[in-house]
Structure formats: structure tokens, C-alpha cells
Structure 1
Amino acid sequence: MKEVLDFLTANKVFYLATTGGDQPHVRPMGFVMEHDGKLTFCTSNQKEMYKQLVANPNVELCCVDANFNTLRICGKAVFCTTEKTQCKALAIMPALGRMYAVGDGKFEIFYLANAQAVCQTMSGEKKVWAV
């Protein structure tokens, strides 16, 4: 988990792929945290991403570092929105407070269940990291 979290936070922007019907959608993300031993993210329930995650929770995330090492994570989005998870997210990234507030009715938190992470170098070396 630590290697995955360090990779994502060090590289600041990563991309999450969801599916709407039969059309994949990829969007940039910048928030991640560990919560209860799980890789955890946030979104708004006003966004298409939320609707897609509810309809089909299977996702893949991709991030590339400055050395072109690529981290891919696949898993199933499980919503875990509580006052505790919202407070923790706002403490980790205070800038989220410009969009969300605890209990605002739109701030959603989710983690990846059954997540699998693989980091691959440009030369093709693969490492499986615990998530």
C-alpha cells in the first residue's frame, strides 16, 4: 500500500477510467488517501463519474512518473462516505474545501476493493505492489 500511495501522491495527477454504457471515460484525479487500509478517493455525486461508478464500479487507474514508470491499478469502487472519511479527506487536502464540506450532500468517498497494482518500467520490468 505504501509504495502505491507514495507513487500517486508524488506524481500528483493520475487518471481514472470508468465506463458509461459501453463507452470508456478517463478523467484526471489528484486526491488519494489511505483509509482503513484501503486506497481511497473522492468525487461529487453531481458528476457523471459518480453515476458511472454506481452503474459499473469496475475501474482502472493509471499514473506515470518522471522516469516513465507506469502504475496501473484495477479494482471495484465501493462508496464509504461518512463524516469521518470526509473529515479525513479535507484534512489531507484542504483545497477540497473549496468544493465540498462535511455533510453537504454531494461529497462522496470511495475505496478500491479487490485492487491489484502493477508498476512497469520502460524496459518492461513489472512489479506487483500490495494495495
Structure 2
Amino acid sequence: MDEIVQYLTGIPAWYLATIDAADPTQPRVRPFSFAAQADGKLWFSTSRDKDVWRELEANAKFELSGWKPGECWIVVEGEAELADDEVCPDEVRQAGFEHMVGIGEHHDSPNDGRLAFFSVKNGTCRICDIDGSERKFQF
């Protein structure tokens, strides 16, 4: 898990794909940049008023990918555990709030009702190299 978080926080952005709630045949992709680890879980943050939150409510499955130039790329897939928003650890909530405000989001506090957190269940990660090799693990 440490390796996943270090990778994702070591690049400016990575891309999270969901399924469009209004058209389940259409994937949607957007940049993300906050990841954290706590209580043995991988955590992400977004806002409840964004399409991504509604899409994950309709279909919790997602995939993300990122690339660090000159190195390997990462692919993480799993299901968003949206219910974990209620039990998100304070340190993750604070870090997510600071990150979101730092990138220009407008939230009043770590407990702003629009700020949302989710963890990953049934997660798998592949760290892939251009030579075709990859390491795969579940979390």
C-alpha cells in the first residue's frame, strides 16, 4: 500500500475512470491528485457535488492510471467504498481538505458537507514496465 500512495502522490496527477450514471455505456475520466493511506485502506477525496461522486454512487467500480516519466506506470482498480466517508480518519480528512483547497477547491473545513472521502475495496494494483513486465498485488 505504501508503494501505491508514494507513486500516486509523487506525480502531479493521475486519472480516475468511472461509468457515466446517465449512460452506463460511456466511461468518464478525470484527473485526481489526492491519495492517502490509513487504517490499512487507500483513500481518495472528491466533492459530493461533482459528477464523479454521483457516478460512483451508481456504480462503485473504477480504474485509475498514472505514469511517471522515465519509469513504470500504475493501474489500480477496485470499488469505491463511499460509506467509509462517515468513518474517514481525521488525519486523512485534514490532509484531503488541505490538498483540495491547495488546488483551488472551495471547502470551509475538513468537515465541510460537500467534501467527500472514499476508500477502496477489492483493490488490485499493477505496476507495469515498458518491457512488458509487471508486478501485481491485491489489497
Q: TM-score, normalised by structure 2?
A: 0.84
SS of 2:7's equivalent? Answer: helix
How many corresponding residue pairs? 131
Deviation at 1:63, TM superposition (A): 0.8
Percent identity between the aligned chains? 27
Within-5 A mapping of 1:10-89: 10-20=10-20, 21-79=24-82, 80-82=84-86, 85=89, 87-89=91-93
Can you list the C-alpha shifts for 1:68-125, whole angstroms capped at 9, x where unaligned? 4111010000121237536533236624245222332111100110100001101111
Q: CA RMSD in A?
A: 1.9
Residue matched to 2:6: 6
Specify every segment of 5 or more residues in structure 2 that has no aligned partner in the other structure, as ranges.
Answer: none
Specify every segment of 5 or more residues in structure 1 that has no aligned partner in the other structure, as ranges.
Answer: none
Q: Are the equivalent residues in 2 in contact too, given 1:86–1:109 (CA < 8 A)? A: no
Q: Are the equivalent residues in 2 in contact too, given 1:4–1:129 (CA < 8 A)? A: no
SS of 2:131's equivalent? Answer: coil
More strand by share: 1
Q: Distance in 2 between matches of 1:90 and 1:46?
A: 19
SS of 1:49's equivalent? Answer: helix
Segments ≥4 residues shifted beyond 6 Å:
none
Q: TM-score, normalised by structure 1?
A: 0.89
* 1:75–1:86 Cα change, 3 Å: same
Residue matched to 1:99: 106
